[in-house]
A and B are shown apart, each in its own frame.
Chain A
Amino acid sequence: MHTLMAWRNIWRNPRRTLVILTAVVIGVWSMIFLGALMRGLTNQYLEIGISTLTGHIQVHHQDFRSDPVIQNRIDRPGRVAEALEPLLPPGSHWTERIRVNAIANTARHAQGVTLVGIDPEREARVSFIGGAVKEGNYLEPDDPYGILVGKALAEDFETRLDRRVVLMSLGVDGKVASRAFRIRGIFRAETEATEKQYMFVTMAAARDMLGLERGVTEAAVLLPSHELTGKTAEALERRLPTPPLAVQTWRDLLPLVRVTIELYDTFIFLWFLVVFIAMAFGIVNTLLMAVFERVREFGLLKALGMRPRGIVQGVLTESFFLLLLGTAAGNALGVLSVNLLAESGIDLSALAGRLAEVGMRRVGYPQLQAGGFRLANVVVFVLGIVVSLYPAVKAARFTPVEALAHT
């Protein structure tokens, strides 16, 4: 009965209800849509970071990160495999790499690069390189002289497929080791920096060049979902001899990505609050209008014996319906617009042509996430009811006499 009254009350002035609903709908929509867009951007940022030779978990020699040379290597990779394989959840992939700093030379150019020796088959399942070769071919598993270079680097070096590149690096013996490679493929990456930084050769070629019998510098694991990272890393840590080995997750390996995501999360939350406050002024004002128009009615209800609590409840129920309708429509619009754009994405290149330089893609794909969704609705609903207490209490305070005298 009271619910029905509240429902009818909000439709007594449909125009006013629709106007305030519009404000709530725009607010909720913007929370969901922009939240999803930002989430999409940070997730892409994370995906790119993880696929650019990071993975979710890496195992290194404990000194490798501060002194990335071949001397700080995992000498017996078999032990890592033993420890790792039983732990991996289904759908996981992992691979081993030799990653060293090197200098790439052609006749006219030289540049510092990161030389990565890979197991081509396993690597393809873990990092971006498997699908990134746009000219020429991917590496064959035992190609002794093939190398993959990035498009941007090839341009800088004014070189192309089948040309020679000489790589120099510090060998196992502490002396400069060098080897000539032939460009088998040219790859593209999300960022030019990646294209300029990495060169890929086979594991065998890398070992041969560096004078290494066995051993790798890292093992990288790609898990089926980000959430499994912490648990798997902990379990792995218990099964490996640490030290001399060290287990790191993407959160340690990509501190910038981690901090960016945290920053975005904080920003989204603040944004929700700001939009909500803007909405709250409208909600309170609209409810106040509705309440003051009905002073006589509240007087009558009181005269009929209704308690103040009942009146508070009545007004809050009206607010509840407003919020319910507003959030429902806002959510629907939000989901709709996210779904519409989730496939095609939003081309941000119009805004900034070289976003790639800061490590983000040119196209933003909004992504709904339960967390952001819940947060938006909880913020609007809970705080919405809280601010509605003001008009509700106001209504309950009218005394019957003054209410009935009111014209």
Chain B
Amino acid sequence: MNLYSIGLAVSIMVCVAAFILLNRPRTAMSSVLLISGFSALGGLLCARLVYWFGALDFFIGRTHNVLSFFWWTDGGFSLFGAVAGAAGCAWLACRWLKEDKRTLDLLALPLLLLVAEGRLLEWTAVGMDFGGALESPAWLAVSGEYGGRLNVALIEALMMIAVAVGLIIRMRVKAKKRVPLRDTLFLMGLCEALAISMRHDTYMMWGFVHQEQLYFYLLSSLMVILTGFEARKPIAGIISAFIAAGAIIFLEFALDGRIHVPFAFMREWADLFWYGLFILALAAYTIYYFSMRRGAERKRA
């Protein structure tokens, strides 16, 4: 047994329990159990599928065996796959059972919990999810045989907690009973796109881009495009997704040192400068998304 496996099992159990407990007062227990079952199985299989697909050169290149997908103990799982699989399968189950779409919203907090737990597990059990060299502040650095490193896993977990708190506050302010799954997936995708760009490990990479960063960005954009259709502004939604993609690609090139900062005196603080721009770009995208969301709600009303 190893910490990663035990953590994985505990994470799934905690999320299923959270989903069932959150659901209990409203939806029939039979539907809740069925949606949980589909969601958990879909999440697990998609998590493996995304990891396996992302590491084809490892699995197929070295083993020459398609069945390596089922060799659960070789390699690992992708958290993006877990989120997408769980949300997708829960959506299908809700449609099949003709459940109210709002039942899906109860998946929001368990998914944030899953990502927070999973990221922490990546560092503590597998030794992945670290950034550049950093010795202080001590709480943000992790030390290993290779010196101090930025603890990106902790940053990602804190971001997920911040998203959960922010959305719960918004729910209370708006006197709603649910945290919307769409808003959660949008914010989760953007936070992950930002945090993963800080990573220096080589887990699931294509060139100098982490695959999960790309997938999480696409998840956010899917939410923007869906909202655009609901607000009857489909072209605006699609164009904004392309503009955001262009900005993120530019910033990734810049952070990789391929584009120089505009002013010489800023060279020493280049990373801070680019990350500042990254945060501003994502903030603008978030404001645009929520304004479109309000438009969609008005249209629905």
Say whether A and B bind each other: no
